[in-house]
A = this chain, B = another copy of it.
């Protein structure tokens, strides 16, 4: 039967590694690269399993040929794509963090491209440019790009998420890790900088405006 004999886990790994390698580098790997990448202990093991995989018709080989391992199926459903995230505004401490409205998303005159693998779903994604040094305590620099995901309801934010928070009483925006206290009346806001102490705010005085998914800093050159 064709399908019954389960492929040994190690051979799965080999197949998977070759797949990834070809995808990423545009050419097949060498025996030794397979050895390392798939966690084999010696090249003879690779030879051994490659023979088995060839017999199982899962790949073909050019004998005595470097990088002569060709996968039988070139199919590669995983879409490693680029997402264009609109930069809808800037974060400054003194104003609420902008959230994207229809207009902003409709006319993204400025976008940042990120690999889909970095952010997963595109749903509700937008980006903000940080202005000023006010986010230093979140280890975010002037000029950094923060990739955010829209928060529809407060429950979208889980304990420990890094979120953009506007503090009504102080009239300032900040990026902090958010933890709900047990009584639900206070929020603990924890700076990213581990040398700084967390502090507490009244939950009604804090507006959570979005979750931070990713920070990207392009170093000036």
Show the binding face of A for B, using Cβ within 8 Å: 17, 21, 23-30, 32-33, 36-37, 62, 66-68, 70, 74-76, 78-82, 84, 103, 106-109, 111-118, 133, 136, 139-141, 158, 160-162, 192-195, 211-221
A27 and B30: CB pair below 8 A? Answer: no
Whether the Cβ atoms of B118 and A218 lie closer than 8 Å is: yes
Given A66-B67, A79-B82, A106-B33, A24 and B111 touching (CB < 8 A)? yes
Contact B114 A114 (CB under 8 A): yes
Give the Cβ gap from A138 to chain B, nearest Cβ, in Å. 9
- Report B-chain residues with C-beta under 8 Å of the C-beta of A220: 160
Closest CB-CB distance, A84 to chain B, in whole Å?
4
Q: Which residue of B lies closest to A115 (CB)?
A: B113
Asked if A26 contacts B25 (CB within 8 A), the reply is: no
**B108–A21 touching, CB < 8 Å:** yes
Verify A133–B194 contact, CB threshold 8 A. Answer: yes
Which residue on chain B has the smallest CB distance to residue A163? B219
Chain B's nearest CB lies how many Å from the CB of A66?
4
Give the complex CA separation of A118 and B37 in angstroms: 27
The answer, among B82, B133, B160, for a CB contact under 8 Å with A80, is B82
Q: Which chain B residue has the least Cβ–Cβ distance from A141?
A: B139
7 A-B pairs with C-beta separation under 8 A: A33-B107, A66-B67, A76-B78, A78-B80, A81-B113, A211-B221, A216-B217
Contact partner of A30 among B33, B106, B219, CB < 8 A? B106
Known A-B contacts A26-B76, A216-B118, A217-B214; A17 and B109 likewise in contact (beta carbons under 8 Å)? yes
Kindly list the 9 A-B residue pairs having the minimum CB-CB distance in the complex, ordered from nearest. Answer: A113-B115, A36-B107, A215-B217, A24-B84, A66-B66, A26-B70, A81-B82, A113-B117, A79-B80
Residues B37 and A109 in contact, CB atoms below 8 Å apart: yes
